[in-house]
Amino acid sequence: MSANPTKPKFYLTTPIYYTNGSPHVGHTYTTIVADTVRRYKRMCGYEVVMTTGTDEHGVNVERAAKKAGIPESEFVARMAEEWRALWDKLGLAADEFIRTTDLEHVRTVQWLFRLCRDAGYVYKGHYTGQYCIFDNAFVTEAKPGDSCPDCGRPTETVTEENYFFKLSAFQKPLLDFYNQHPEFIQPESRRNEIISFVQGGLKDLSITRTTIRWGIPVPGEEPHVFYVWFDALTAYLSAVGGPEHAQRGFWPADVHLVGKDIIRFHAVYWPAFLMAADEELRRLKLPELGLPKQIWAHGWFLIDAAKMSKSKGNVVAPLPIVNVLGMDALRYYLLRETVFGQDGNFSYDALVTRYNGDLANGLGNLASRILSMIQQYQDGVLVGNLSPSDEPPGVQALALRFEQSYREIRESYEGFGFSRSLELIWRLIASTDLFLTTEKPWALGRQNLPAAWQPIGAPASGSEQSKVAHLLYRAAEALRWAAVLAYPVIPDATERIWGLLGEHERLANFRLPDDLTWNQIKSGTRIGKIEPIFPRVDKAEAIERIEAMEQVPQKPGEGPAAATPAATPGQAAPAGATPAIPPATTPAKITIDDFTKVDMRVGQIESAEKVPNADKLLKLMVNIGDEVRQIVAGIATVYEAEKLVGRKVIVVTNLQPRKLRGVESNGMILAGSSGPDGSPVLAGFLEDVPVGSRLK
Ligand SMILES: [Zn+2]
Question: Would you list the DSSP string of 250-311?
Answer: -PSPSEEEEEGGGHHIIIIIHHHHHHHHHHHHHHTT-------S-EEEE--EEETTEEPPGG
Query: Is 278 within a domain?
Result: yes
- CA–CA dist 81, 63 (Å, integer): 19
Q: Which of 526, 556, 572 is the last residue of a domain?
A: 526
Q: How far is the CA of 668 from the centre of ligand 1 (A)?
A: 15
Three-state DSSP string of 146-167: CECCCCCCECEEEEEEEEEECH
Q: How far is the CA of 433 from the centre of ligand 1 (A)?
A: 58
651 and 513 in a common domain: no
pLDDT one-digit tens code per residue, 10-26 = 999 999 998 867 788 88
Query: Is 549 within a domain?
Result: no
Instruction: Give residue 552's pLDDT.
Output: 64
Q: How far is the CA of 66 from the centre of ligand 1 (A)?
A: 17
350 and 433 in a common domain: yes
Instruction: Give residue 149's pLDDT.
Output: 84
Instruction: Give residue 462's pLDDT.
Output: 60
Instruction: Pick the most confident of 115-129, 142-156, 376-390.
Output: 115-129
% of the chain surpassing 90 pLDDT: 62
H-type helices in 440-563, by residue range?
463-486, 491-500, 539-551
Categorize the per-residue pLDDT at 364 as very low, low, confident or very high, splitting at 50, 70 and 90: very high
AA identity, residue 676: P
360 and 296 in a common domain: no
The more confidently predicted of residues 197 and 580 is 197
pLDDT at 459 > cutoff 60: no
Q: How far is the CA of 673 from the centre of ligand 1 (A)?
A: 16
284 and 179 in a common domain: yes
Q: How far is the CA of 566 from the centre of ligand 1 (A)?
A: 14
Q: How far is the CA of 611 from the centre of ligand 1 (A)?
A: 18
Q: How far is the CA of 346 from the centre of ligand 1 (A)?
A: 29
Give mean pLDDT, residues 214-232: 93
pLDDT one-digit tens code per residue, 314-330 = 578 899 999 999 999 99
Q: How far is the CA of 159 from the centre of ligand 1 (A)?
A: 17
Supply the CATH number for residue 452's domain. Answer: 1.10.730.10
Q: How far is the CA of 89 from the centre of ligand 1 (A)?
A: 35
Q: How far is the CA of 123 from the centre of ligand 1 (A)?
A: 29
Q: How far is the CA of 138 from the centre of ligand 1 (A)?
A: 9
Supply the CATH number for residue 668's domain. Answer: 2.40.50.140
Q: How far is the CA of 409 from the centre of ligand 1 (A)?
A: 48
Instruction: Give residue 3's pLDDT.
Output: 52
Q: How far is the CA of 578 from the centre of ligand 1 (A)?
A: 21
Q: How far is the CA of 75 from the centre of ligand 1 (A)?
A: 22
Q: How far is the CA of 156 from the centre of ligand 1 (A)?
A: 10
Percent composition of the chain: helix, strand, coil (DSSP 3-state, to 5): 45, 20, 40
Query: Is 324 within a domain?
Result: no
- CA–CA dist 182, 185 (Å, integer): 7
Q: How far is the CA of 658 from the centre of ligand 1 (A)?
A: 12
Instruction: Give residue 456's pLDDT.
Output: 45
Give mean pLDDT, residues 238-242: 98
364 and 300 in a common domain: no
> Rounded to two decimals, what is the model's pTM?
0.76
- CA–CA dist 249, 11 (Å, integer): 9
Q: How far is the CA of 207 from the centre of ligand 1 (A)?
A: 21
Q: How far is the CA of 500 from the centre of ligand 1 (A)?
A: 57
- CA–CA dist 479, 550 (Å, integer): 35
Instruction: Give residue 465's pLDDT.
Output: 75
Within 8 A by CB and 6+ apart from 45, the residues are: 7, 8, 511, 512
Supply the CATH number for residue 159's domain. Answer: 3.40.50.620
Q: How far is the CA of 150 from the centre of ligand 1 (A)?
A: 5
69 and 176 in a common domain: yes
Task: Say if residues 612 and 618 touch (Cβ distance below 8 Å).
Answer: no
Q: How far is the CA of 580 from the centre of ligand 1 (A)?
A: 19
120 and 25 in a common domain: yes
Q: How far is the CA of 612 from the centre of ligand 1 (A)?
A: 19
- CA–CA dist 133, 148 (Å, integer): 10
Burial state string for 464-487 with b = 16 or more CB within 10 A and e = fewer than 16: bbbbbbbbbbbbbbbbbbbbbbbb
Q: How far is the CA of 574 from the centre of ligand 1 (A)?
A: 16
Q: How far is the CA of 573 from the centre of ligand 1 (A)?
A: 14
513 and 380 in a common domain: yes
Query: Is 457 within a domain?
Result: yes
170 and 65 in a common domain: yes
Q: How far is the CA of 130 from the centre of ligand 1 (A)?
A: 10
Categorize the per-residue pLDDT at 127 as very low, low, confident or very high, splitting at 50, 70 and 90: confident
Q: How far is the CA of 128 from the centre of ligand 1 (A)?
A: 17
> What is the longest distance spanned by two Cα atoms in the chain?
111
Q: How far is the CA of 151 from the centre of ligand 1 (A)?
A: 4
Q: How far is the CA of 305 from the centre of ligand 1 (A)?
A: 28
243 and 164 in a common domain: yes
Task: Give the 3-state secondary structure of residue 609.
Answer: strand
Query: Is 585 within a domain?
Result: no
Query: Is 563 within a domain?
Result: no
Instruction: Give residue 395's pLDDT.
Output: 93
**Range of weakest confidence among 124-128, 172-176, 281-285, 422-426:** 124-128
pLDDT at 624 > cutoff 70: yes
Instruction: Give residue 663's pLDDT.
Output: 79
Q: How far is the CA of 571 from the centre of ligand 1 (A)?
A: 9
The more confidently predicted of residues 307 and 225 is 225
Q: How far is the CA of 146 from the centre of ligand 1 (A)?
A: 11
Query: Is 373 within a domain?
Result: yes
Partner residues linked to 53 by β-bridges = 16, 98
Q: How far is the CA of 131 from the centre of ligand 1 (A)?
A: 8
Pairing of strands 47-55, 96-99: parallel
Q: Which of 526, 548, 579 is the last residue of a domain?
A: 526
Query: Is 303 within a domain?
Result: yes
Q: How far is the CA of 147 from the centre of ligand 1 (A)?
A: 8
Q: How many domains does the chain have?
A: 3
Q: How far is the CA of 21 from the centre of ligand 1 (A)?
A: 18
368 and 295 in a common domain: no
Q: How far is the CA of 148 from the centre of ligand 1 (A)?
A: 5
Q: How far is the CA of 153 from the centre of ligand 1 (A)?
A: 6
Q: How far is the CA of 200 from the centre of ligand 1 (A)?
A: 29
Q: Which of 510, 526, 542 is the last residue of a domain?
A: 526
Q: How far is the CA of 568 from the centre of ligand 1 (A)?
A: 11
518 and 662 in a common domain: no
- CA–CA dist 364, 289 (Å, integer): 47
Q: How far is the CA of 665 from the centre of ligand 1 (A)?
A: 15
Q: Which domain holds residue 268?
A: 9-312
Q: How far is the CA of 136 from the centre of ligand 1 (A)?
A: 8
